Structure 1
Amino acid sequence: MSLIDRVSGAVSGSLITGIPSLDIDGTPVHLIDDEDARGIISDAAARYGTRPLAVISINLDHVHHFGTSRLAARHIAAAPVDDSLEWLNLVDGAPIAQQARRVNGTPCPKLSGSDLIGPVLDDAGARGLSIAVLGGMPEVTGALRARLETDWPQVRFAGHWTPSREELASPATSSRIAAEIRNARADIVLVCLGKPRQEQWIAEYGAATGAGALLAFGAVVDFLAGRVSRAPRWISDAGMEWAWRLMLEPKRLARRYLIEGPPAYLAVRRSPA
C-alpha cells in the first residue's frame, strides 16, 4: 500500500483503505509488506484511525478455528462481523504465503507476530507510546518487564494481565480487565491468549480497552520474556517453524499441527483464486 493510500485512508478514518486482499476460506487476508504493516499499527496506536485496529495472524490454525469450510464441517455458525474494530489480517505461515503466490504470481512476505513485534516496539518507543500485555504466565512478568526496559526503554509498560481460562470465560472478569487496561492508558495491547480465544476476546472487549491497536500475537509474550526460544532464521525461512515449535512443545502442539493442520491446509488450497 502506498503512502498516498495510507494518508487518504487516515483522512477517511480507515487505516486499511486500499490494501489488496485474498480470500482464504472465507477470511480476507491483506497482502501487505512489513513496512506498511508496522506503519499502520503505529498510526493506529497513535489514534490516527476512527476505530481501534485489531491485527491477527492468518495461518492454518486460524483457518481451523475461523475458516468458513472448517466451521461448516464442525456445524458451527460463523460469528457476525464486528464493525467496532478494523481488522488487519496478516499472512502468517508458509501455506498462506504460498497460496497468495499461486493466486497472484508474485512473492508475498510472511508477517508473523514474532517478526513484527520488535519493529512495532521500536516505532512505539519513537512515539513515546505504551503497551499492555494480556496473556502468558504470571511468572514471566518480571522477565517481560526487564526485557522491555532494556530493549525499549521509551515504551511505557502499562501492565501485564494473566487471567486463567475460567476468568476469561467470565464476561464480568473480562470487562474488568478491559477497564483496567483503559485506566492504565495503554496505546497497544499485546493479546497472547492463543487461538481462538485471543481473537474472540479482542472482538468482544477490545474496544473497551481504549487502546488504538490490539495485536493477537499468540506466543510472543513468551518470546519476549525468553521463556520459549524462536526457531533459527533458516528454519523459519524454509517454512518449518511449526516443526521447531512442535519439537519444543509436543504435548501442547501435536493436535494443532498433526490433526487439525492437514484439513486446514486442504481448505487453503481449495480457496478461490
Structure 2
Amino acid sequence: MSRHTPIVLPVTALRPRLSPVPAPPRPLGGGVSDIPVITIGGGPVHLVDDRQARRLIMDATHAPDLPPLAVCSINLDHVHHFARATDDFGPDAPVRWLNLIDGAPIARQAERLTGIAYPRLAGSDLIGGILTDAAAAGLSVGVLGGSSEVTRALREALAAGWPGARFGGHWTPSREALSDRAGCAAVAGEIRAQGVDILLVCLGKPRQERWIAQNGPQTGATALLAFGAVVDFLAGRVSRAPRWVSQAGVEWMWRLMLEPRRLARRYLVQGPPAYVAVRRSHSSPRGHEPST
C-alpha cells in the first residue's frame, strides 16, 4: 500500500454510478460460450455490457453443477503479465472465464476492430451492481486479499449498503501461504466450509487470476471475481477517480498520483510495451469485421 494518506470513499458513493435491480435477475438462457470474443493483446476478451456481465455472474450462482465462473479485467497490466504466458483463459480452462474490457486502450482497440463502442467494465464500477444482485438473491459474499485491518470495514460496508447479502468471511493469507500449494488448499477449504457463493479475489495481477485457475473450483464458490483493489474501495481506504477522469480515459494518472511508489513501474515502464501489443491486435469476433 502507498504511504500516502488514503482518500476515504463512503459506501454510498459507490452506488449512484450503478443500475441496481429490484429482484434477482432471471437467467439469460445462454452462457459465456455464447458471448462474442475478440483477441486483444494475445488473449480473449468478451464483448458484453454491464447488464450482460452482471446477468452472467448471477446465472453462475444458480448453476452449481457447472464449473465456476471466473471474471477478470483486461487492461494493460493484464496484457503485460499474460500476453506471452501459457495461462489458459479459454473454454478448456478448469473455470469458465469471463474476460471484461477494463482499460481505455482495450476499449478503443475493441471499437477499432468491431466498429462498436463497447463499455469499460472495471471491477470497481461493477461491484456495487453485483452486490445489489447478490443482496436481492440472499447470497454469501466472501473476500480473499487485502489487509486484516479492513475486515470490520468490509463487514460494515456490506451490512450498510447491501443488507440482503451475507458476509461470508475475509481471508488474508501471507505471500508465503499464497505461494504454497498446501496453504492455498487450506484457504480454499475454509472458504468452502463457509458456503461462499461469490468470492472477491483481490490479490493483484497476476496472482489473483492464477490463484483462481488453480484453486477456484475447490472453494465451492460459483463466481470468483478477480477485482484487485475492490477490497480497498469497499473498505473506504481508496477512492475512485472522478467521473470526468474515467470518461477521459486517464484514470491511470489519477491512481499514479495517489500511489506513485506502487504504481510507477506498472504504468510508466510496463504499460507502454503492453499498449503496443494491444494496438497490434487484429482479431475480429464472430459476426463482426474490423472497421476501416
Show the 5 A alignment for 1:185-196: 185-196=195-206
In the TM superposition, 1:40-119 aligns within 5 A as 40-47=56-63, 50-67=66-83, 71=84, 77-80=85-88, 83-119=93-129
Q: Which amino acid aligns with 2:220?
A: G
Q: 2:269 aligned with 1:247, yes or no?
A: no
Q: Given the alignment of the two structures, is residue 138 of structure 1 paired with residue 148 of structure 2, yes or no?
A: yes
CA contact 1:131–1:186 (8 Å) conserved in 2 = yes
Q: 1:266 aligns with which of 270, 273, 276?
A: 276
TM-score by length of 1: 0.91
Of 28, 32, 45, which residue of structure 2 is paired with 1:6? 28
Q: Could you tell me whether the CA contact under 8 Å between 1:16 and 1:40 is conserved in 2?
A: yes
Residues 42 and 4 from structure 1, CA distance in 2 versus in 1: closer, same or farther, beyond 3 angstroms? closer
1:23 is paired with a residue whose SS is strand
Root-mean-square deviation over aligned CA pairs: 1.6
Count residues with an aligned counterpart. Answer: 257
Paired with 2:26 and 2:112, the residues of 1 have a C-alpha distance of 28
The residue aligned with 1:21 is: 37
Listed as ranges, the gaps of 5+ residues in structure 1 are 10-14, 72-76
Asked if the contact 2:27/2:55 (under 8 Å) is kept, the reply is no
Deviation of 1:80 (Å): 4.8
Cα deviation 1:31-64 (Å, max 9, x = unaligned): 0000010000011123266110000000000000
Structure 2 distance, partners of 1:127, 1:208, is: 23
> Is the CA contact 1:29–1:90 (under 8 Å) kept in the aligned structure 2?
yes
Matching residue's letter, 1:6: L
| Residue 234 (structure 1) aligns with | 244
Alpha-carbon contact 2:109-2:279 (below 8 Å) kept: yes
Counterpart position of 1:148: 158
Contact 1:131 1:156 in 2 (8 A): yes
- Indicate the residue corresponding to 1:33 in structure 2: 49
Instruction: Please identify runs of 4+ aligned residues in structure 1 that moved more than 4 A.
Output: none
SS at match of 1:119: helix
Larger relative contact order, structure 1 or 2 (CA cutoff 8 Å, min sep 6):
2
Alignment partners' CA distance in 1, 2:134 and 2:87: 32
Q: Which has the higher helix share?
A: 1
Corresponding letter in the other structure for 2:41:
D
Q: Which runs of 5+ in 2 are unaligned?
A: 1-24, 284-292
Describe the superposition over 1:157-211 as per-residue Cα deviations: whole angstroms up to 9, x where unpaired.
Answer: 0100011111100111110000000000000000000000000000000000011
How far residue 83 of structure 1 moved from its aligned partner, in angstroms, is 2.5
Q: State the alpha-carbon separation in 2 of the partners of residues 226 and 44 from structure 1.
A: 28
Q: Is the 8 A contact 2:67 2:96 kept in 1?
A: yes
Contact residue 46 and residue 129 of structure 1 kept, 8 A: no
Instruction: For residue 6 of structure 1, give the secondary structure of its aligned residue in structure 2.
Output: coil
**Counterparts of 1:164 and 1:192, CA distance in 2:** 13
Do the aligned partners of 2:93 and 2:213 also contact (CA within 8 Å) in 1?
no
Assess if the C-alpha contact under 8 Å between 1:131 and 1:190 holds in 2.
Answer: yes
Partner SS for 1:154: coil
